[in-house]
Structure 1
Amino acid sequence: MNIRAKTNAIGWAFIALAVILICVFYFYPMIQAFLMSFQSGTGRNLTYVGGDNYVRLFKDPTFITTLKNTFIYLIVQVPIMILLALFFSVLLNDNNLKLKGFFRTAIFLPAVTSLVAYSVIFKYLFGADGLINTMLLKLHLVGLPIEWITDPFWAKITIIIAITWRWTGYNMIFYLSALQNIDASIYEAARIDGASSFRQFSQITIPLLKPIILFTSITSTIGTLQLFDEVMNITKGGPGNATMTLSQYIYNLSFKYTPDFGYAATVSYAVVILIVIFSLLQFKLAGDKNG
């Protein structure tokens, strides 16, 4: 065996275990789930039904409702979160700002809190007699308590506030890291040329942060399409199905309703298809040649 072949054999020996584990715990379940999406039945008593499950998606009112709810969260929450993350990152990148470390930590801290713990706290904060309603009533901003959890509109607002609070700091860290790698002389030259702060932001900061904005937009889109914990713990998908997401519907199909793992797998692959479509759209809109 020559040296090159021996080196390759040693390299494969090092990664063999990782490759096997990835195949067993990632690719095999993905293939099995895809095959299961063409089956239907109660529990494990599944029979092959071809594409009937995919046809059923378009006739399923609950699926359509959860799809609409998920799109609302996606269209409203993701842009707000990205803009807030950009705003905070630019603000906290100012060298003249005092206590920068404290503010950075405070804004990022929600991202490391327990999903269940913070969801439960939000449920109590936005309850009918919770702290938020108490403050609004004392400030005379509302005449009656807002039904944050039990009203379809306000329940969606509560979910949007919750996920924005948790994930804004997470995205801010990416922007902050990228901003610190931009040469300060670029901004200095722009100031000498008379560029305003807004023009520096729009003509320098945004173009240079474009790859990071694309990355955070895609990851945020994927996370929103898979949204589960907040809805499950704050509203349980209610009132009715007004806040239920696709992920919660998959959970209900598998464990809450009469178990139908085949149809649950079909809904799961519908989410996969949506993720692929939205990711490709974002690549195209960003003008990324690799998209």
Structure 2
Amino acid sequence: MRDDWWIYLFLLPTVVGYGLYTVYPLVASWWYAFLDWPGFADVGTFIGFANFELLWADDLFWNSFRNSLVFLAIAVPLRVGLALLLAIVLNRRSTPFRGLFRTLLFLPVVTTGAIVGVVFTLILDAGGPVNLALVKSALVDSPVDFLGSSGMSLYSVIGVWVWKWLGITLIYWLAALQTIPNELYEAARIDGAGNWKEFRYVTLPLLLPFLVVITLIDMVGALNVFDLVMTLTGGGPAFSSEVVEVYIYRTAFGATVPQLGYASAAAVLFGLLTMALAIAQALGIRAARRAMA
């Protein structure tokens, strides 16, 4: 390190930027959570745990928390399961154009989430192509209000999120499938196993350690959906699709009177949830490595 000190000069801009825009806000939010601070004054008033007590009694916060959990419970199994099915199909050499399909499924991953949200507001509009196809095929009598209905908005966001991030989970599964030796499949076929038995007795048992890791990674990703929710529904209608991230943003910057201290308290609680998932991810990865050893 002493001989190659100059190399760290190239890392300095990243370190400074990361410190200013990630580490400092993270540490500062913990302090702001104990302040009554609208953001306009130079300093706030220390009020201890008062923000957390108000937050505990805030129905809108718990509504956003519940929406985040619903999002987590539906979107993650859907994304993991659908990606696994596609990976099994696209991992077979007999599948035609499998390279093309892999590329097409991965393209949404590299597209900006905000752009995806704006485009899908047009696609899911009452006069958009989805509703046009549903009405023309007589599946529905009138256009479905995917983003403007309180009963549909959250599930519409879930569908768009799964579509956008399906490709990266597909890559994870393809990498996992390629670790399974072909000799095991050949032995299974010799014993008369069909496609289902190959999956049941060969593929699935060997993929279980990867399932833990991939599921935990997707769970952390499912808590970071701010861009899609804001561009698709803005958390509405009537807070039906508002997740914790959007609640924090609305409280800190979207309210008539900003409440940065109160929003920081919500961010701390949300951060603790994310931290718990990160710890679970680390433990899951360690357990998976032991199982594969």
Q: How does 1:113-132 map to 2 (within 5 A)?
A: 113-132=111-130
- Larger mean CA deviation between 66-75 and 111-120 belongs to 111-120
User: What is the CA distance between 1:191 and its match in structure 2?
Assistant: 2.0
Using the alignment, how far apart are the partners of 2:47 and 2:264 within structure 1?
Answer: 13
Using the alignment, how far apart are the partners of 1:29 and 1:274 within structure 2?
Answer: 18
Whether the aligned pair in 1 keeps the contact of 2:213 and 2:285 (CA below 8 Å) is no
Q: Percent identity?
A: 30
Seen in structure 2, the aligned counterparts of structure 1 residues 26 and 147 have a Cα distance that, compared at 3 Å, is closer
Match of 1:230 among 225, 228, 231: 228
TM-score, length-scaled by structure 2: 0.87
Seen in structure 2, the aligned counterparts of structure 1 residues 285 and 195 have a Cα distance that, compared at 3 Å, is farther
Seen in structure 2, the aligned counterparts of structure 1 residues 270 and 255 have a Cα distance that, compared at 3 Å, is same
Seen in structure 2, the aligned counterparts of structure 1 residues 263 and 202 have a Cα distance that, compared at 3 Å, is farther
Using the alignment, how far apart are the partners of 1:200 and 1:12 within structure 2?
Answer: 54
Superposed CA deviations along residues 29-66 of structure 1, whole A, max 9, x for unmatched, are 32222112111221143111111122222111111111
Match of 2:30 among 28, 31, 34: 34
Using the alignment, how far apart are the partners of 1:181 and 1:220 within structure 2?
Answer: 21
User: What is the CA distance between 1:88 and its match in structure 2?
Assistant: 0.6
Query: Which residue matches 2:186?
Result: 188
Q: How does 1:144-163 map to 2 (within 5 A)?
A: 144-163=142-161
* 2:162 is equivalent to residue 164 of structure 1: yes
Using the alignment, how far apart are the partners of 2:107 and 2:138 within structure 1?
Answer: 31
Gaps of 5+ in 1: 1-7
User: What is the CA distance between 1:281 and its match in structure 2?
Assistant: 5.3
Using the alignment, how far apart are the partners of 1:252 and 1:90 within structure 2?
Answer: 42
TM-score, length-scaled by structure 1: 0.88
- Describe the SS at the equivalent of 1:247: helix
- Describe the SS at the equivalent of 2:36: strand
Whether the aligned pair in 2 keeps the contact of 1:226 and 1:246 (CA below 8 Å) is no
User: What is the CA distance between 1:114 and its match in structure 2?
Assistant: 2.1
Using the alignment, how far apart are the partners of 1:50 and 1:149 within structure 2?
Answer: 39
Query: Which residue matches 1:248?
Result: 246
Residue-pair matches, total: 284
Cα-Cα RMSD: 2.5
Seen in structure 2, the aligned counterparts of structure 1 residues 269 and 207 have a Cα distance that, compared at 3 Å, is farther
Seen in structure 2, the aligned counterparts of structure 1 residues 138 and 23 have a Cα distance that, compared at 3 Å, is closer
Using the alignment, how far apart are the partners of 1:160 and 1:275 within structure 2?
Answer: 19
Gaps of 5+ in 2: none
Using the alignment, how far apart are the partners of 2:4 and 2:202 within structure 1?
Answer: 44
